[in-house]
Structure 1
Amino acid sequence: MLPVSVTIITYNEEKNIADCIRSVESIADEIIVLDSFSTDRTEEIARSFARVRFEKHAFDGHVQQKNRALTLCKNEWVLSLDADERLSPELAAEIAALDAAKIANEGISGFRMPRLTYHMGRAIRHGGWYPQRRYRLFKRSVAKWEGENPHDYIVIDETGKGATLKGDLIHYSFVDLSQQIDTINKFSSIVAFNRHEAGRPFQVMKTLIKPFGKFIEIYFFKAGFLDGFPGFTIAVASAFSTFLKFAKIFEIDRKYIERPSNLRADYRAQKKK
């Protein structure tokens, strides 16, 4: 079986971390949990699993923390998960069946997998939420996390070749709508702060137009209406999230605030490339 290191970054994930770890135990050679000083039972729960190596580092961004976790792995192949994600039994079986020699002969450097999100009591299969194929299993020597925090993604360098697995990566993104609103508030603050620090100013026309465009895109063009009322809610929430990003840039630009009040004190903006 392909020797795989699993990485999971955490902060106050006591409700998720055990199920996440259990879903990868059958395929993991080692499990690295990189925590940013949780104040709940995350550490206690994670350390209760024999295969887990628990490390800590101050959080300075999703991209930075996930790349840091890669440096802690002993294996070349890494499976990177968020704490609210699980391998479906089908996906775990696919990974367990991978032949290391065959993969090497074919020059494969990473595997994408479809991500299926559950929200408001159902699996969401439209509105751009599925299949959302993403690289999560990859050779760390030719891959790295990039993106605009908190929206990170894996990039395989030009020497690598990708392949796709069929099994679903299960994502339990929100407990309920209240948590979704909290997440929108937190993530929009991160994006607004990063964009301001990168010199991207408030723009009136984008603030007026982009939220409506986002709703039309998700609900109509990406068929979010096929997911019923949850699909409508997702489209509205996405439009609101888009609006908040611009509105928070306005606050910072006008010097009403230095940084959003819900941004963690140890968070620093991404450096310009």
Structure 2
Amino acid sequence: MNNQKEKISALIISYNEIGYIEKCVESVTFADEIIVVDSYSTDGTYEYLKNHPKVRVIQHPFSNFTLQKAYALKQAQNDWVLFLDADEVVSEDLKNEIIATVNSDTDIAAYWFYRRFMFQNSPLHFSGWQTDKNYRLFRKSKAQFSDKKIVHETLDVDGKSGILKEKLTHYCYKNYEDYKGKMLRYGRLKAKESFYREKQFNYISYVVKPLWKFFNHYVIRLGFLDGRKGIIISYLNALSDLERFRELKKLEKKNELAYYLLMP
């Protein structure tokens, strides 16, 4: 039991995260409540969460990341929210910094976290992720998820932002098939986002943007210094962009077909 004055709600969304979510949950047991919104996992994740004495698990269908996280945010009982992905872990030093931060006399509404990326169990030092940061700690009363993005969701903050010193550990790469599947799903969601914004498919972007993504991550962002890991990460991130344009083209064709079918 901790002596903190301010209460914290730890929020997580999950789907088939067994083997990773256990470390995530155990790293936030200092929070006053832990709420996990699970999108009907089939690998034992839900059963593990249901039997955990400190976790309140809610099953909710997944539409996109923004809507799922917005739903989870509504469940929080406390103003201070620590929002994690199921494959992220809070270190002891970061835990202490979080507790000290929320109990300080601060007018900051939200805090960015830098992340330490893990390729399986070894660190990924470069490959484009060395400057990655995300909002993870914020006041519920001062922030909401933007409805402009459905993947790599962003937070709209009413107030000042700060950055915590300690890094959040992110186990981004479990194995090749898992990361590939994740990148393909992100690409399809980004295609929907582009389609809703009325961005049109074109062959120049289809060819150039994936090549640029690989070159940017592997060469400019020093992925080659990560060795074989850097090649894999850079390739799969480029594949996500390729999938985005493939899916956007499919969505446009479906839309055209629906239009002609509805014509009198």
Specify if TM > 0.5. yes
TM-score, normalization by structure 1? 0.85
Q: 1:31 to 1:257 in 2, by over 3 A?
A: farther
Asked if the contact 1:251/1:257 (under 8 Å) is kept, the reply is no
Quick check: 1:24 aligned with 2:22? no
Asked if the contact 2:120/2:172 (under 8 Å) is kept, the reply is no
**In structure 1, what is the equivalent of residue 214 of structure 2?**
215
Distance 1:199 1:21 in 2: 39
SS in 1 for 2:169: strand
**In structure 2, what is the equivalent of residue 174 of structure 1?**
173
Deviations 1:166-218 (CA, angstroms, capped at 9, x unpaired):
21211112211121111122221222233234432211111121112112211
AA aligned to 2:28 is V
Gaps of 5+ in 1: 259-273
AA aligned to 1:248 is E
Deviations 1:110-166 (CA, angstroms, capped at 9, x unpaired):
111111111155311213212412110000111122353221132312xx1111112
Quick check: 1:144 aligned with 2:144? yes
AA aligned to 1:139 is R
**RMSD (Å) for aligned C-alpha atoms:** 2.1
**In structure 2, what is the equivalent of residue 74 of structure 1?**
77
Shift of 1:91: 0.8
Asked if the contact 2:144/2:157 (under 8 Å) is kept, the reply is yes
Distance 1:62 1:164 in 2: 23
**Larger deviation: 234-243 or 133-142?**
234-243
**In structure 2, what is the equivalent of residue 87 of structure 1?**
90
Shift of 1:84: 0.9
Quick check: 1:9 aligned with 2:13? yes
**In structure 1, what is the equivalent of residue 262 of structure 2?**
none
Quick check: 1:155 aligned with 2:156? yes
Asked if the contact 1:219/1:231 (under 8 Å) is kept, the reply is yes
Deviations 1:55-88 (CA, angstroms, capped at 9, x unpaired):
1222121101101111111110000011111112
Q: Sequence identity of aligned pairs in percent?
A: 33
Q: 1:255 to 1:101 in 2, by over 3 A?
A: closer
**In structure 1, what is the equivalent of residue 191 of structure 2?**
192
Deviations 1:3-42 (CA, angstroms, capped at 9, x unpaired):
110001112222222211100002x010011112223322
AA aligned to 1:59 is F
Shift of 1:239: 1.8
Asked if the contact 2:188/2:247 (under 8 Å) is kept, the reply is yes
**In structure 1, what is the equivalent of residue 261 of structure 2?**
none
Distance 2:230 2:27 in 1: 28
AA aligned to 2:84 is L
Asked if the contact 2:24/2:87 (under 8 Å) is kept, the reply is yes
AA aligned to 2:150 is N
Distance 1:30 1:6 in 2: 6
Shift of 1:51: 2.0
Asked if the contact 1:76/1:139 (under 8 Å) is kept, the reply is yes
Q: 1:257 to 1:62 in 2, by over 3 A?
A: farther
Asked if the contact 2:67/2:150 (under 8 Å) is kept, the reply is no
Aligned length: 252
Q: Among 38, 42, 45, which residue is 2:45 paired with?
A: 42
Gaps of 5+ in 2: 258-264
Q: 1:255 to 1:74 in 2, by over 3 A?
A: closer
**In structure 1, what is the equivalent of residue 63 of structure 2?**
60
SS in 2 for 1:172: strand
SS in 1 for 2:137: strand
